[in-house]
Every structure is written in C-alpha cells, then in structure tokens.
Amino acid sequence: MQAALFVGGGIAALFAARWARARLLLSRAKHPSLRGHARMARRISKWIPYYEYDDEEFFAADDAPESVQQQRRASFERLADQFARKAPKTLAYSGAVEDGLADVEFVNRYRVPFQFREKVRKSFRLGLVVQATRGRHIQDLDGNWSLDVTGAYGVNVFGYDFYKGCIERACRRAEALGPVLGPYHPVVIDNVERLKRISHKEQVSFHMSGTEAVMQAVRLARYHTKKSHIVRFCGAYHGWWDGVQAGVGNPRPAREVYTLKDMSATSLRVLATRNDIACVLVNPLQAMHPNGNAPTDSMLVTSSRTVRYDKEAYAAWLRQLREVCSQRGIVLIFDEVFLGFRLALGGAQEYFGVRADLVTYGKTVAGGLPIGVVCGSADLMRRYRDERPTDICFARGTFNSHPYVMTAMNEFLQHLDWPEVQEGYHDIDARWDRRAAKLNGMLATRGLPMRVANMVSVWTTLFTQASRYSWMFQYYLRAAGITMSWVGSGRFLFSHDLTEEEFGEFCTRFVSAAESMVADGWWWSSPQLTHKSIQKRVLRETISVLLGRDRKRRRPLLDAQPAQPAPVAAMVEIPRPESSPSDATAVAR
C-alpha cells in the first residue's frame, strides 16, 4: 500500500514538474511589455483614468519657457483657423458624419494622446468627407486637392485610377447576372486558378473580409489538428475577431490564444514542446516592428517609436518557424491580408522565400471591393471527414463569391500578368529604400528631428528628439496638404504608381511641415527632457488622478459637457439617385 502511494506520488510529482516547466517556458516566451501579457493589459487598461490638461498646461507639458508657450499657442490658433477656413463645407459634412457614425466618433478621440485630446478635437476639426480622386491626389468637398498616403487601409497598391477601372469593368461583366448568390459567375473558375498559382496551393475559399478569412484559416487548423490553441506574435493585428485579438480592445479575455515574443528562440521552444498548438499566425508586416503595435500617433506619449526592419533576419526567423511547424504538425498561417500584393507578385511567401500551409489575402485582391481569401492544400481546406460524416467544419457567408466582387477580382488578377506590372516588382526594395534615404537626407541636412523608415511602400515617421508634442506633426502634415489615415504620421501607404515628381512633392510638403513645426516651438528641448522623464511625469500624473489627489486636472465624468449639436446640418445635401423609388415601382408594374 505504502509502495503504491509512493509510486503514485512520484508520478504526480513528475507530471507537476513537467507542467511547471512548460508553464515557465511559456512565461519566458512572453514579451515583457504589456502587449505580451494580454490579460494583464486588459485589466490595467480599465484602471487608467482619463484626465486632460487645462489650457495652460496644454502648451507647457514639457515646462518650456513662457515665450515658447506663446509661440505654440499662436501657431495652434493659426492652424485651427487655417483648417476651418480652408474647407467649411467639408467640415460641415464631417461634423454630421461624426454625429451619427460610431467609427468616426471613435477615431476622432484616438488621434492624439488623451491628455491633449479634447482641445485638439475641438480646435482642429478635420475634413473626413471627400468627393474625388485623381492619380495620387484626393479632393475634399471644397475643391481642395491633397496628396493621399492613406493607401485606403492597404487596398490601394496600384493607384485609385486602376481600381476605378477594375470596378467599372467588373460592373459591366457582372451586370447581366446581378447580385445572384449561390450559383457562381463563370469568372470564379479563373480566379481560383490564378490564386492557386500565386499561392502555390490547391484550393481557395472566398470570404467577405480579411477578418473572416483569418477566422476560417484558424478554424480549419483546429479542425484538422484537433488541437485547441493558436499562437500569435506580440503586437500583430489579424483583424478584430475575438479569437485572435487578445488584450486591449476585446472585452472578452483571450482564450486558447498564446501571445508569444516575435523572433525569439524561446517561442520556438514553446512550439517544439507543447502539444496543444493548432496553428501559428504570422502577419509579415511585423517584420517592420517585431513585438510592436501599429504605430499610431495616439500612442506618442513621448516621441519614441522604433522600426527595426531587417529583411534577411525576418526571413531566417520565418524559416525557423517553418521548420518547427513542420516537425510538430502545427499549421503555419501567413496572414497576408495587409501586405499581400504590395511586396511581390507571390506575396510575402515569395518575398521572404518561405511557404506557409495556409495563406490569407484580402484588401487589394478584389480590385477595390470587400474581400477575404484563404488558400491551402486540399487536405487542410477540406471541411468534412469521409469516415465521420457528421464531424464537419462549417463555414458560410451570404456574400461570399459575390458576382461583382469576383469580376473585380478577375480584373485585378489579370492585371498581374502585364509585363510592366511584373517589372514594377523588380528591385522594389531598392526603389523605395532610395526614396526613403532621399527624404532622410533632406531632413538631416536641415537639422530636423524627423526621419522616415520603410518596408517597401509602407512608411512610418520616426523622431530623433524627445518631445511631448510629436503627435502634432500630423496636423502640420495635413496643413501642408498630405492626407493620412487616422493613425496619423505613424503610417504612410504609398501606391506604387507614385511618380518621381509626386514623390518630390511629398518630400517638399513633409520638409516644409517639419520646418514649420520646429519654427513654432514644438521641438523646444532641454537636457532634462528625455523619454524617461516624460514617462515618469505622465505616470505621476496618472497616479495622482487615480488617487483623487489632482483637483486641477479635469476628469470628464465629473463635469461632462453635453454633446454638441451636429454643426450646420442644414448645409448637408445628399444627392439623390437618378431614378427615384417611384420610377422603380413603375417599371415593376
């Protein structure tokens, strides 16, 4: 009896030791930042109190002298006036949009660090409604043209004119069929063949967004491996589905998701030793900033933002991942929704020279219409088991393979056959690196504290000096005629049809924005002003607000302002469709 207890105890201790070792390894494979600790980040995010600087502190958050504060104040008012005067009609429409569109209400609150937010939001009203594009330029409702580097969230790789053509021709090709869903437009066959060739896979499925493509890829991996967990890398975005968005932003705790350190030998050891991992998700955009989040200006509490893009090192990392996934029967998924056709004709697989098991595409691949695609081997894509007829892997979507989307996709995919398009991918790194070096040279020669870093045509702004106000740069850029997405100066997406002349225009505008910002005193510096001193100060402020000691700083819940009425709603006229509903009824009769 005693011997049995002894053996039983020994076995239990052995299991406990193995479990503890695996747990420890998992902890070591987490990035030390909060991004690497999803649950803790969610918890802490609920504790951070809102507070804002009063009018005086807004210009003196770095203890700059009075004269510099005055300079800043004057320039701030000048910019606000410039925005208001330049585009009154656009601003009226934009106000109306913010009133009713939840997306806009949200992004308008997350453009700058929250301590500065309300004054910026009320003073710098931004034109968010536009009416036309021409080449690389975009026009607001007041007729102002600016250089567009939003990249339409990644869709715009070949230029707006190209996508307009795709959609126009696609509509003509799908017109006779209309929105028939269920049976397919014949063009689907060619799309499938082309995507199989591009991805080097045997089967394809169509979805309505990148988020859904990722959902399906992960579901297939779990179904076939019969394992529960997925691995994603710290900082990587894979759409907004609960199952891959661990941490802040998702009200549910991340379950069955391991967020591991990118480019880390410890993470490889976790993959090599755990038995519960179904798949590894890779967003190749992370090559630019491994373990970092997307570089939004709202996170610029200090001006520290880093990019460490090393193509060879990242390719070597992907090869290691490939090897361990093959050895352990883990499905390697490349999520190419964002980067796909921006890097190479064969996407990130070709660009980095590594093949994944499943690949997702989206954004640009449907010629400007909404899309998500999964490509994989026939084995992995199968949604049923011959030997277990009721054990299926379900996936549907009303609008999958919509005829108009399929014809637009065909226009896009056929375009890739053109010799000049294929030529455009040759020496793509050198071309864009040369451009970045040129702008950096101009900035350095003028002693300006901005630089750019890039991965092909995905660019970000970096700052060489500690500051509380680097987020202001996006407004100087806007005033200089550059249109960015809501993340601001953290992400410029160029379309590949940008001419040298237009790039010159971008550089001129960028440099002039930088010079104005410096001249207006926002880059005042002192030996005491460092990234560390800024972080410490913000931490002190946060704690004192949290403890209720800070009576000076305003907390909105205590003295909330009523929402402003929609500005000049009467000015907003929406054009009517050419045929009215009564015409349609008449036709039906």
Ligand X SMILES: Cc1ncc(COP(=O)(O)O)c(C=O)c1O
Task: Return residues touching ligand X (CB under 6 A).
Answer: 209-211, 214, 237-239, 283, 335, 337-338, 362
Cβ atoms within 10 Å of 319's Cβ, excluding its own: 12
Measured from the CB of residue 232, what is the shortest distance to ligand X in angstroms? 11
Measured from the CB of residue 578, what is the shortest distance to ligand X in angstroms? 31
Q: Which is nearer to ligand X, 209 or 461 (CB)?
A: 209
Measured from the CB of residue 348, what is the shortest distance to ligand X in angstroms? 10
- Strand extents, DSSP E, 464-574: 482-483, 492-493
Select from 244, 276, 239, 275 the least CA-distant residue to 257: 244
Q: Which is nearer to ligand X, 159 or 370 (CB)?
A: 370
Give the SS3 label for residue 454: strand
Give the angle subtended at the CA of 183 by the CAs of 182 and 188, to the nearest 5°. 110
Q: Which is nearer to ligand X, 335 or 411 (CB)?
A: 335
Q: Which is nearer to ligand X, 239 or 347 (CB)?
A: 239
Q: Which is nearer to ligand X, 187 or 217 (CB)?
A: 217
Select from 78, 59, 71 the least CA-distant residue to 476: 78
Measured from the CB of residue 458, what is the shortest distance to ligand X in angstroms? 11
Q: Which amino acid does the sequence have at 58? A: F
Distance separating alpha carbons of residues 520 and 536, to the nearest angstrom: 26
Measured from the CB of residue 241, what is the shortest distance to ligand X in angstroms? 8
Give the angle subtended at the CA of 409 by the CAs of 408 and 412, to the nearest 5°. 90
In sequence order, the 6+-apart residues with CB closer than 8 A to the CB of 540 are: none
Select from 285, 308, 351 the least CA-distant residue to 487: 285
CA dihedral of residues 473, 478, 484, 490 (deg, nearest 10): 0
Q: Which is nearer to ligand X, 75 or 283 (CB)?
A: 283
Q: Which is nearer to ligand X, 114 or 241 (CB)?
A: 241
Structure tokens at 505: 């225009």
Measured from the CB of residue 422, what is the shortest distance to ligand X in angstroms? 24
Q: Which is nearer to ligand X, 215 or 413 (CB)?
A: 215
Select from 424, 533, 479, 538 the least CA-distant residue to 76: 479
Measured from the CB of residue 383, what is the shortest distance to ligand X in angstroms? 21
Q: CB nearest ligand X: which residue?
A: 210
Measured from the CB of residue 218, what is the shortest distance to ligand X in angstroms? 11
